[in-house]
Amino acid sequence: MLLHVHPDNPNPRHIKTITECLQDGGVIIYPTDTIYGLGCDIFQHKAIERISKIKNVQPEKAQLSFICYDLSDLSQYTKSISTPLYRLLKSYLPGPYTFILPASKEVPKILKSKKNTIGLRVPDNNIARTIVHELGHPILSASLPGEMVEEYTDPDMMYENFKNLVDIVIDGGAGGMEPSTVIDCTKEPYEIIRMGAGVWEEME
């Protein structure tokens, strides 16, 4: 299904259709503040396996991260956040950043990396955050497979390419071509793993 959703004021009926699909183990393609991503409910194992299959990798190697609604939502899925780190997250989120943090017990085992970490995001995108808010917990975020970035900006093209692999492609307008900037906060000093969208200046 290709579903047109207003980027600023998502229709509650559309959001309900999407969240019900996720609760039933569905897989979606949805917009963020960077590139479109593959997503599912973090507690639906079969859906996680479907995404890994689409990407042709094992779940623990799929570089999956969580889309959270806000900082309090994010803090449930990582171990205690120090005050300086909280300040840092608060100054950069919502925004085009993925923070690698130690995973808490709330993170399903299938999604933890070997280092017991998880990537966490709060994108500056109304559709993604409204879905998470309505669902009541994060959705998974994974990049689309392959290198065809230009194709991933156009929802119609994504629908043509993935309609047999996913349940819903959300059309929230043209997507970006640059992924999020990834920062590893499990070590001091924090390390940029991937420079993407957004400007990074670590605060003192």
Q: Per DSSP, what are the bridge partners of residue 117?
A: 102
- Poorest-pLDDT segment among 25-29, 43-47, 50-54, 149-153: 149-153
User: With bands split at pLDDT 50, 70 and 90, how would you rate the model's confidence at 34?
Assistant: very high
Environment class of 110 (CB within 10 Å of its CB; exposed 0-12, middle 13-18, buried 19+): middle
- pLDDT for the residue numbered 201: 76
Work out the mean pLDDT of the chain and round it to a whole number: 91
User: With bands split at pLDDT 50, 70 and 90, how would you rate the model's confidence at 62?
Assistant: low
Following DSSP, what letter does each residue of 125-158 receive, concatenated?
-HHHHHHHHHHTS-EEEEEPSSS-GGGGG-HHHH
**pLDDT tens readout for residues 130-172:** 999 999 999 999 989 877 667 789 999 999 999 999 999 999 9
Measure the CA–CA gap between 86 and 145, rounded to whole angstroms: 32
Local structure of 39: helix, strand or coil = strand
Q: Which of 172, 149, 150 is nearest to 30 (CA)?
A: 172
Q: Which residue's structure tokens are 């507690």? A: 43
- pLDDT for the residue numbered 204: 42
- Identify the CATH homologous superfamily for domain 2-194: DHBP synthase (3.90.870.10)
Query: What pTM was estimated for this model as a whole?
Result: 0.92
Q: What is the dihedral of CA 199, 191, 180, 117, to 10 degrees?
A: -150
User: With bands split at pLDDT 50, 70 and 90, how would you rate the model's confidence at 202?
Assistant: low
Contact 47, 27 (CB under 8 A): yes
- pLDDT for the residue numbered 114: 74
Mean pLDDT computed over 56-75: 84
**pLDDT tens readout for residues 79-116:** 888 999 999 999 999 999 999 999 999 988 888 777 78
Environment class of 175 (CB within 10 Å of its CB; exposed 0-12, middle 13-18, buried 19+): buried
- Poorest-pLDDT segment among 1-5, 63-67, 68-72: 63-67
